[in-house]
Amino acid sequence: MGARRSGSGGGRGNASILKERANMSFMLVVMFFAVFGLIVLTEIFLIDERRSGTGVGGVGGVGPSGGHRSGHRLAAAPDRPDYEEVGPEDYAGLKGAGLEEHLEMLVRGDESRIPAAAAAAIPGDPRGLASLPTSLEARLPQLDRELKLTHAEWLPVTNTRFKFFVYSAYYDERPSGATGPATALNRGGASSAGVVRVIGATKTRGPERVWCRLWYPGQSSPGSNATRTSSITVAARVKVIRENWNLKYSACFVICPLPKEQPRASAELVPEAVSIVARLRAAPTNRILVQNRPAARPKERQPLAICVKPLHYQYNRVLQLVEFIELQRILGASHVTLYNDTLGSEAGCALSYYEGKGLVQLLPWHHLDMVSQREIRTEGLFAALNDCLYRSMYAYEYLALLDLDEFIVPRREESIPELIGWLQRQQRQQPGPAAGRASGKGAAGAYSFQNAFFYLQWPDDPYVRTSRRATEAGLITLRKTRRRAKLHPHKQRSKYVCRPRDVLEAGNHFVWEFVPGHGTVNVPADAAILHHYRVCEFGGDDCVKTASIVDRTAYKYLDRLADRVEAVWQELALLCPGLPELGEPPAGGNKLPTERPAAAAAAAGSR
């Protein structure tokens, strides 16, 4: 009996526990739907606010540091996709009587006095107007010759409601993947003289309307050596770069269509500089040199250059930096472009050494007043990648966009240009996927390489533990030879080499947009892969449990790489105070281990 009562009491206790759990589960479900409903209601109210114009037309603005300034804006145009197809109808001319009068109100800042019907005739992206009428252009603020001319510096666009920065500017006359040329169309439908493409950063959703003040060199004044600068003002199109992770701010292109005819006072079709302004009556606060002007393009191109995203967190790993630059040079690169967000003193000294030799360009990346990872992705890296793309466009035949722990290593060829030459020969001889055919239609504009992780948690190769040289023992490409057996598919962790003149928008792992008629070649793994040296990507050490193989393909560069790094280190030791000496190598000889994996054995063969 007692045992029976005890069992009955235990059953009632279990039932009580189950009931409490059921109640708790019900409450969690209710809370989930309550939060979800709140989010939906918030989105609905925000959409209504944006459509009514209060989200953009209210008082406010952002100054150089993001502080608010008073300002009044026209009602926002309905939301449009960031990257819809552009058709000729987008460039239809503005029609209706009184247009010049209404534009004059814009110049004076009297937007509120424009009748509603007339305001509706001035679209949020008024690209149809080739340029402001001459009578109004003459009334705009003139260029302050004391305003610094920059080519690589983050500068604010003032009088905006949200943060808006611009960095560099490039002339671009190439066609795009839309229904017509990348250059704007005039009211008759014919192509114009091209565009000025400004690299910037602004709000991801619903970027604000801005204007381009195009500055043309004029003729010298009579009796004076001073040159008068003439201007044309056009409405810009802000095109948000796709890879933005849905954060509040994103890298962007500010696209300025050029008029077909130059100003009367200038003999140039392409402007010398551009200023981006949010209000026409406000004096420009930025003046950016327009690069890639036809007359300034080099007559010959080097085979290969490398682009690296902004260096941050006081980056100061000098040996990694030297190894990266020297191995990229062995692989065929003649130049490396880097961006300095924050840099340690020793690394800065090493890069100054390379700049003096003309092998490196270190560009400033300061003053982008957007919080990395919370407001914009990783120090605005997509602005840096696309700046490097356009900056290198006419100086180099091919361009690789890499991190400092990544190397594209051919399996048989010695260099990347040699590999691309082999791929092109194979494509001519055997058209098809096996030869590396471009995805989509047309010619190869980029070559994609599958990613292989060489996790740093795996043990060092036995060779470096018996090396006679301290340099060899310190180089990551020689220390780490074990990699994941399974490669990532293309477009996932992959990196690429592109022909910059065939690319309109670069991404981190693949090209987002090509010039029409070009695509990507997926390079087979037996031709080359991306060596990626890093810790486990998800934290911890579980990655070392994945299936792996030993891959010593990089050892074909062993002697050349060690000699180059050693020579550079000796020179840096004299130039850079505080640079540590390379450690003593382990005792023993330097014989390679007897085992040779299949990949390394294949690398020793010939095609």
Question: Model confidence over 490-531: pLDDT tens digits?
Answer: 999 999 999 999 999 999 999 999 999 999 999 999 999 999
Q: Which residue has the higher pLDDT, 8 or 412?
A: 412
Give the pLDDT of residue 458: 97
Rounded average pLDDT over 37-52: 55
Task: Work out the end-to-end distance of the chain between its first and last CA atoms, rounded to an integer number of angstroms.
Answer: 88
Give the pLDDT of residue 572: 97
Q: Is pLDDT of 61 > 70?
A: no
Rounded average pLDDT over 118-130: 49
Rounded average pLDDT over 285-314: 96
Cβ proximity of 559 and 472 under 8 Å: no
Q: For residue 242, what are the contacts with CB-CB under 8 A and spacing of at least 6?
A: 82, 83, 505, 507, 512
- pLDDT band for position 414 (50/70/90)? very high
- pLDDT band for position 58 (50/70/90)? very low
Instruction: Return d(Cα 317, Cα 570) in angstroms, integer.
Output: 16
Question: To 5 degrees, how large is the angle CA 397–CA 398–CA 402?
Answer: 155
CA-to-CA dists, residue 18 to 26, 183, 276, angstroms: 12, 68, 65
Give the pLDDT of residue 45: 52
Q: For residue 343, what are the contacts with CB-CB under 8 A and spacing of at least 6?
A: 311, 314, 315, 316, 351
Give the pLDDT of residue 580: 85
Average pLDDT of the chain to the nearest whole number = 81
Give the pLDDT of residue 432: 55
Residues 476-498: pLDDT tens digits?
999 999 999 999 999 999 999 99
Q: Is pLDDT of 605 > 80?
A: no
Give the pLDDT of residue 253: 98
pTM, two decimal places: 0.77
CA-to-CA dists, residue 399 to 25, 172, 531, 552, angstroms: 55, 18, 17, 25
Give the pLDDT of residue 134: 87
Cβ proximity of 484 and 605 under 8 Å: no
pLDDT above 70 coverage of the chain, percent: 72
Residues 571-603: pLDDT tens digits?
999 999 989 888 654 444 444 444 433 444 444
Give the pLDDT of residue 60: 34
Residues 213-253: pLDDT tens digits?
999 987 655 555 556 789 999 999 999 999 888 999 999 99
Instruction: Return d(Cα 569, Cα 577) in angstroms, integer.
Output: 12
63 CB neighbour count, 10 Å cutoff = 15
- pLDDT band for position 8 (50/70/90)? low
CA atoms within 13 A on the CB side of 251: 27
Q: For residue 102, what are the contacts with CB-CB under 8 A and spacing of at least 6?
A: 114, 118, 119, 121, 122
Burial class of 213 by CB neighbour count within 10 A (0 to 12, 13 to 18, 19+): buried
Give the pLDDT of residue 179: 35
Cβ proximity of 163 and 202 under 8 Å: yes
Q: Is pLDDT of 205 > 90?
A: yes
Rounded average pLDDT over 554-569: 97
Give the pLDDT of residue 260: 78
Q: For residue 194, what are the contacts with CB-CB under 8 A and spacing of at least 6?
A: 171, 172, 173, 182, 183, 258, 270
Instruction: Return d(Cα 235, Cα 241) in angstroms, integer.
Output: 19
Nearest to 207 by CA among 76, 91, 90: 76
Residues 325-366: pLDDT tens digits?
999 999 999 999 999 999 999 999 999 999 999 999 999 999
Residue spans per domain, the chain: 140-176+193-220+227-296, 302-427+441-575
Cβ proximity of 195 and 255 under 8 Å: yes
How do beta strands 155-156 and 273-277 pair? unpaired
| CATH number of the domain located at residue range(s) 302-427+441-575 in this protein | 3.90.550
DSSP helix, strand, coil percent of the chain (3-state; round to 5): 30, 25, 45
pLDDT above 90 coverage of the chain, percent: 60
